Chain A
């Protein structure tokens, strides 16, 4: 039984007194239908959702490069997932299982329409997890936008996927050492947002700031595109959160409702922060707060109450608003589209909050640790810290290696000309 299915079984048993064996190896049609749908929703929130969200935020001369990054990441990670990613992340690793999965599912050839994974066809389970494996490195694109060589980006994403996402996914969802410690991560707060956000931050630091940062204004070139992408993110996130129950059940319902509340509260909180601080609420602020709310709820979505979701969102909107200014201004790190401030910080704080808001007394399903909130908080902190360090350290090594071989950045001339022309010989707009 996967860790997430175990959570859900606990949720079911707690909520309705249903037998834990309900999640045994028997295909469930309703669950299968829902996870097929959720897989589509998560892919929808990456391409086109995230692609449009990011695409509108960069300058005209780089719009295609960012759209292309998102599509290329989707394609590349899918192929990696087939050959090795899925097997190493989510199959049993035998005596190595604490650290990494096994080789039984390499190339997916030994999986067919009749192969089951708990309640689901394994193909569906594999595809659903693939959409997460795509979304995490796609997030990184936002940190390194507008200056990275396309070839280096492909190498970085490919290696990041295999060396960071795959093991982290195994540690938490594949029965690895963090799962054994009892970490709670419902929909990827640590696996996706902490790992991806950290990768983006390290990428931004290793590449260095864009030419002109922070003196030259680099406003978004098309906020209508960004708002369109953000809307798709909100919709698609329901597949991300509610799909993570891996069943069509009450936990999925809780996840959907609390996620929705978090997004709503996040946008209102960011809007209010801007209104107070700058005198006017902005459209970009409103949707940024929404994305922060969606990110911060990921680790706890199915474990907490809708009111807890509201609380998480409100905190996300306010806190990410403050961190963003700190990273951009105080530390002058050019994380192009603020990936770490929004997803990294959201993932970290949300993962820690999970230890508190999951408590029965606060309307949650109950925490896994026998040592209460403090015990769970310790486990969550260990998980967050180790994933943060792992992602930062390995990202640094990969980028260092690429810098010494291929080179990370385009030339000054190419950067000024824009990546669309210099890397791809095409333009986003021919007016």
Chain B
């Protein structure tokens, strides 16, 4: 079991969700987050007073998948979230030690 964490541009959320649904991903968690990478932030001007906004809005997706699905899922996110411009985001893959479905008590891949 792996946990895929993807930080993407907010406007790409729907496309990524569709791509993941097509390869059979059953669920994911989405949060609105802010952060910065090489894209840096942007400048806001109020009556000429300049404010640097270092953190730009991003969407974070978290999905737990069986090991054999990891590559396809990463590929799907890559294709659907890419614009080719700076700030497209990142994908991290980490290992899940255990997962439990709360309703039934099932564990491991059955609980994903």
Contact = CB atoms under 8 A, between A and B. Distances in A.
Q: Do A and B interact?
A: yes
A217 B47 contact: no
B44 A274 contact: no
Contacts of B45: 274, 278, 280, 282
Interface string A350-392: 0000000000000000000000000000000000000000000
A244 to B, nearest CB: 28
A325 to B, nearest CB: 5
B105 interface: no
B44 A278 contact: no
Contacts of B46: 219-220, 282, 284
A217 B44 CA distance: 10
A285 B44 contact: no
A277 B49 CA distance: 12
Nearest to A288: B47
B48 interface: yes
Interface residues of A, number: 17
A280 B44 CA distance: 10
B48 A274 contact: yes
Interface residues of B, number: 8
Contacts, number: 29
A274 B48 CA distance: 8
Contact of B48 (A217, A219, A220, A324): A324
Interface in A312-326: 321, 324-325
Interface of B is mostly: strand
Contact of A325 (B48, B51, B52): B48
Interface in A179-227: 214, 217, 219-220
A117 interface: no
Instruction: Select the residue from A219, A288, A324, A338 with max chain B CB neighbours within 10 A.
Output: A219
A325 B46 CA distance: 11
Contacts of B48: 274, 277-278, 285, 321, 324-325, 328
B96 to A, nearest CB: 33
Interface string A276-297: 0110101011001000000000
A324 B47 contact: yes
A326 to B, nearest CB: 11
B53 to A, nearest CB: 8
A220 B45 CA distance: 11
Interface string A400-420: 000000000000000000000
B47 A338 contact: yes
B47 A284 contact: yes
Contacts of A321: 48
B43 to A, nearest CB: 9
Interface centre among B44, B46, B47, B51 (most CB of A within 10 A): B47
Nearest to B51: A217
A338 B47 CA distance: 9
Contacts of B52: 217
B10 to A, nearest CB: 20
A65 B52 CA distance: 27
Q: Which 8 A-B pairs have the closest CB atoms?
A: A217-B51, A219-B46, A325-B48, A278-B45, A219-B51, A284-B46, A282-B45, A288-B47
Interface of A: 214, 217, 219-220, 274, 277-278, 280, 282, 284-285, 288, 321, 324-325, 328, 338
10 contacts: A217-B51, A219-B44, A219-B49, A219-B51, A220-B46, A278-B45, A282-B45, A285-B47, A324-B47, A325-B48
